[in-house]
Amino acid sequence: MRATPIGQPVDRVDGRIKVTGAAVYAADNKPAGLTYGYIVTSTIGRGVITGMDTAAALASPGVLAVYTPFNPLKLFAYVQNQNDESAPPLQDKEVRFHGQTIGFVVAETWEQARDAASLIRTTYQQQPPVTAFPGPPAAMEKADTDAEGPDTVLATGVASVAQAVAAGEVTFTASYSTPVQHHCAMEPHATVATWNGDHLTAYTVTQGAVLSVRRLSETLGVDAAKIHVISPHVGGGFGGKWGNWAQVPLACAAAKALGRPVKAVLTREQVFTLAGHRPLTVQNLKMACTADGKLTAITNDGITSRGFAGSWSESVANWTLTTYASPSIQVTKTIVPLNLGAATVMRAPGEANGSFALESAMDELAERLGLDPLEMRMKNYATFVPNTGKPWSSKHLDECYRRGAEEFGWSKRPKKVRATVDGDWLVGTGMGTATYGASRGLASIKVRLSADGTASVSGTAADLGTGQYTVFAILAADVLGIPVDRVRPELGDSTSPTAANAGGSNSTCTNGPAVQVAAKAVQTELVALAVTNPKSPFHGKDPAEVVYRDGSVSSGGLTMSFGTLLTTCDVGSVEAVGTSPRLVDPEHGFRSFGVHFCEVRVHRWTGEPRVTRWLSVMDAGTIINVKAARSQIQGAVVMGIGQALLEATEVDQGTGRFANGNLASYLVPVHADIPPIDVRFLDHPDPLISGLGAKGIGELGIVGVAGAIGNAVHHATGVRVRELPITLEKLL
Ligand code: MOS
């Protein structure tokens, strides 16, 4: 029996071409006659454009066109919200944020386009931008929480959750806030558009080729069947490449208008203003529990920003509905529209911020009661989904807690804060719970067996550096019984069968089962060929007597590899499309779980916080590739360390400009900020999500990280910071 590659540490199948520069990213495409577009952005935060003098730009060398709201490319309004700007660029003269698209210059070279853009003179009628909350009379929109299940759970005999909180034996109230943050994926947003008659080919960054097609179809007014999006490699996304940002429709529409291919790449500064951000949030938490630490009621009133330019906002308080058992829970959502670009999804939207508040508060409450933080969480362990009462499909969080505590040495933790000093460093430890929703969508995948003995697996999925290519290769190799290196996964092409987009930690749980179905179905096709093709040695046999195993077809005493069989039959390949349906299970709650334990050192004289030890124990169902999965969690923890200690996009309150909107001044963690990150997986398959048993891991790893760090900082110093990021001046 061949050993299954599932669960083994498999090297990324796309690793070599990525590190050698052979992988083709959107901006690498250079069709003949390529021209270059440069986006012109607003220099005010709110107002109306009264004029744009483009004469000098138009007269500038190499310039082919200058598009502005006075001379726009025709773009139609979007129908469906996909977390990007809700209005296409250049269609009106209103400025909704600083750094908004107000023009698009196309020239023979990028330098010419950029230079010409600098010659445009724009006049505005300015208004003061609304850039913070509560904000001078900032509009507050009461909004639907979009919770899965009810957002209010009321224990019997209780009039309101607020009353249940007030009546608690022990009560606790606190507000937690988080700043604007940015995805900062390595690869900036890029699109190369080329038309052949009325057919468009767009090489573009995207977390899902079909998402991009649908959005382009709407805004260009072109039938989706005439749009081909190609995006085999994406250099990081984290939610920031879910939508089609301005460079996508502009490049495509300009290429059509000019009859030449157009390439548009956002500058790093433009990525900050034009490609979305994690919104500002505040959570006003009120909790009540018994004297021995059993939660009796929680309210969490979440406030979140959205851009005037976009419609999406974060449901920041919802994590409180599904994490700890409490007989009464209520969360609310209030939206404050701001003149700050579009808020959009960023890794674990809502939950990364949401968990910071609740994980901090659980520790604050535990401390008040004299309880160990882990004991506090076990006392309130949710054996059913708290807001729906449904059983979980699978949940082994208690095992994560036990195993993590043991491996981390949690029992040796001093109960008192500021109890451990090592030279100039105050040492503390903390923990945080991670949970993230799991689901399985509809996906189709094509598997093709070729005469050269290889198999290809294709679907419109995206690999943002997540390891999706390798997941495809492993699962197909497993079902086909051939080595992983004989499988060629093909992702990111909108003409492939429609598979899951890379978002919502949904790729592997959705696409994985479809790969399995397709890899099984192609065996049937191969056997059918074997018995019907006159050149086949199995010709005329009963298909029931011909078996496929480990890459070969056998019957009687004869065994032949599929490559040899196809060659013998003079057939290039056989293929099959497999479809795995959307999971409909209204009876259960589906989530991935985990826990983070960490050690933080805070310099006693400078206040500098450093994370020095990390252990994450994750319960995410079947792990397909333990190597890439570990990387996913490590990457998420790194991002969480950034969220906790470094990352904040500072808004200049007078102008609405992002003061540090570039990689020189927006701090992301570097190697020196990151300790070794130990990751363990429990690897208990989820029996209900699919036969494969895999839940999501992409976003799970960042949830609970900021809370764990805040708790460790507090343990080290006695200082509780409720406003992210936890920077040194807050610890002095
Ligand atoms: Mo993710 S924030 O669903 O890309």
The rounded percent of the chain whose pLDDT value lies above 90 is: 96
Q: Confirm if 452 and 483 have CB atoms less than 8 A apart.
A: no
The rounded percent of the chain whose pLDDT value lies above 70 is: 99
Q: Confirm if 403 and 679 have CB atoms less than 8 A apart.
A: no
Same domain for 643 and 533: no
> What is the mean pLDDT of the segment spanning 604-632?
97
Rounded Cα distance between 297 and 269, Å, is 45
Q: Please work out whether the CB of residue 377 comes within 6 Å of at least one atom of ligand 1.
A: no
- Please say which residue of 251, 274, 297 terminates a domain: 274
Q: What is the pLDDT of residue 85?
A: 87
Same domain for 191 and 86: yes
Q: What is the pLDDT of residues 547-572, one digit of tens each?
A: 999 999 999 999 999 999 999 999 99
Given a cut of 90, whether residue 125 has pLDDT beyond it is yes
Given a cut of 80, whether residue 1 has pLDDT beyond it is no
> What is the mean pLDDT of the segment spanning 96-122?
98
- Please say which residue of 542, 558, 580 terminates a domain: 580
Q: What is the pLDDT of residue 83?
A: 84
- Please say which residue of 558, 580, 602 terminates a domain: 580
Pick the atom of ligand 1 nearest to 242's CA.
Answer: 4
> Distances in Å between the alpha carbon of 30 and those of 38, 194, 227?
16, 10, 18
CATH number at residue 115: 3.90.1170.50
Instruction: Look up the pTM and report it.
Output: 0.97
Q: Confirm if 213 and 462 have CB atoms less than 8 A apart.
A: no
Q: What is the CA radius of gyration of the chain?
A: 27
Task: For ligand 1, pick from 212, 315, 439, 699 the residue to mutate: most ligand atoms within 8 Å of CB.
Answer: 699
Rounded Cα distance between 448 and 489, Å, is 10
Provide the CA 166 distance to its chain's centre, in angstroms.
Answer: 38
Angle at 311 between CA 305 and CA 313, to 5 degrees: 40
Residue 72 lies inside a defined structural domain of this protein: yes
Tell how far the Cα of 83 is from the centroid of ligand 1, in angstroms.
Answer: 10
Same domain for 432 and 458: no
pLDDT band at 3 (very low <50, low <70, confident <90, very high): confident
Rounded Cα distance between 702 and 351, Å, is 9
Residue 141 lies inside a defined structural domain of this protein: no
Q: What is the pLDDT of residue 408?
A: 98
DSSP string, 383-430: SB-TTT-PBBS---HHHHHHHHHHHHTGGG--SSTT-EEETTEEEEEE
Same domain for 463 and 546: yes
Tell how far the Cα of 528 is from the centroid of ligand 1, in angstroms.
Answer: 42
Same domain for 288 and 267: no
Angle at 487 between CA 484 and CA 489, to 5 degrees: 115
Same domain for 70 and 97: yes
Cis amide bond preceding 537, omega within 30: no
Rounded Cα distance between 510 and 696, Å, is 9
Picking from 702, 634, 639, 637, the residue whose alpha carbon sits closest to that of residue 667 is: 639
Q: Please work out whether the CB of residue 347 comes within 6 Å of at least one atom of ligand 1.
A: yes
Q: Please work out whether the CB of residue 706 comes within 6 Å of at least one atom of ligand 1.
A: no
Given a cut of 70, whether residue 138 has pLDDT beyond it is no
Regarding predicted confidence, which is higher, 689 or 79?
689
Q: At 700, give phi and psi (nearest 5°).
A: -45, -45
Tell how far the Cα of 509 is from the centroid of ligand 1, in angstroms.
Answer: 15
Residue 544 lies inside a defined structural domain of this protein: yes
> What is residue 625's three-state secondary structure?
strand
> What is the mean pLDDT of the segment spanning 652-680?
96
Question: Residue written as tokens 């085999």?
Answer: 232
Same domain for 232 and 84: yes
What lies within 8 Å, CB to CB, of 667 at 6+ separation is 642, 646, 647
DSSP classification of residue 544: G
> What is the mean pLDDT of the segment spanning 637-644?
98
Q: What is the pLDDT of residue 82?
A: 77
Residue 604 lies inside a defined structural domain of this protein: yes
Amino acid at 418: R
Ligand 1 atom 4: residue of nearest CA: 239
Residue 699 annotated as catalytic: yes
Helix, strand, coil percentages, rounded to 5, for the chain? 25, 30, 45
DSSP string, 238-286: TTTTSS--THHHHHHHHHHHHTS-EEEE--HHHHHHHS-BBPPEEEEEE
Residue 2 lies inside a defined structural domain of this protein: no
Largest Cα–Cα distance of the chain, in whole Å? 85
Regarding predicted confidence, which is higher, 145 or 136?
145
CATH number at residue 726: 3.30.365.10
> What is the mean pLDDT of the segment spanning 138-150?
88
Pick the atom of ligand 1 nearest to 240's CA.
Answer: 4
Burial of 62 (0-12, 13-18, 19+ CB in 10 A): middle
Q: Please work out whether the CB of residue 237 comes within 6 Å of at least one atom of ligand 1.
A: yes
Tell how far the Cα of 700 is from the centroid of ligand 1, in angstroms.
Answer: 11
Catalytic annotation, pick one of 367, 399, 699, 729: 699
Q: Please work out whether the CB of residue 240 comes within 6 Å of at least one atom of ligand 1.
A: no
Same domain for 295 and 226: no
> What is the mean pLDDT of the segment spanning 300-324?
95
Same domain for 612 and 687: yes
Q: Confirm if 205 and 192 have CB atoms less than 8 A apart.
A: no
Q: What is the extent of the structural domain holding 610?
A: 281-439+586-731
Same domain for 494 and 422: no
Neighbours of 665 (CB within 10 A): 11
Q: What is the pLDDT of residues 476-510, one digit of tens each?
A: 999 999 999 999 999 999 999 999 999 999 999 99
Given a cut of 60, whether residue 137 has pLDDT beyond it is no
Same domain for 458 and 424: no
Tell how far the Cα of 547 is from the centroid of ligand 1, in angstroms.
Answer: 42
Pick the atom of ligand 1 nearest to 504's CA.
Answer: 3
Looking at the structure of the chain, the number of domains it has is 3
Q: What is the pLDDT of residue 86?
A: 86
b or e along 424-440 (b: 16 or more beta carbons within 10 Å of the residue's beta carbon)? ebbbbbbbbbbbbbbbb
Q: Please work out whether the CB of residue 506 comes within 6 Å of at least one atom of ligand 1.
A: no
Residue 173 lies inside a defined structural domain of this protein: no
Residue 144 lies inside a defined structural domain of this protein: no
Cis amide bond preceding 725, omega within 30: yes
Tell how far the Cα of 514 is from the centroid of ligand 1, in angstroms.
Answer: 21
Given a cut of 90, whether residue 135 has pLDDT beyond it is no
Same domain for 251 and 330: no
Q: What is the pLDDT of residue 391?
A: 98
Residue 168 lies inside a defined structural domain of this protein: no
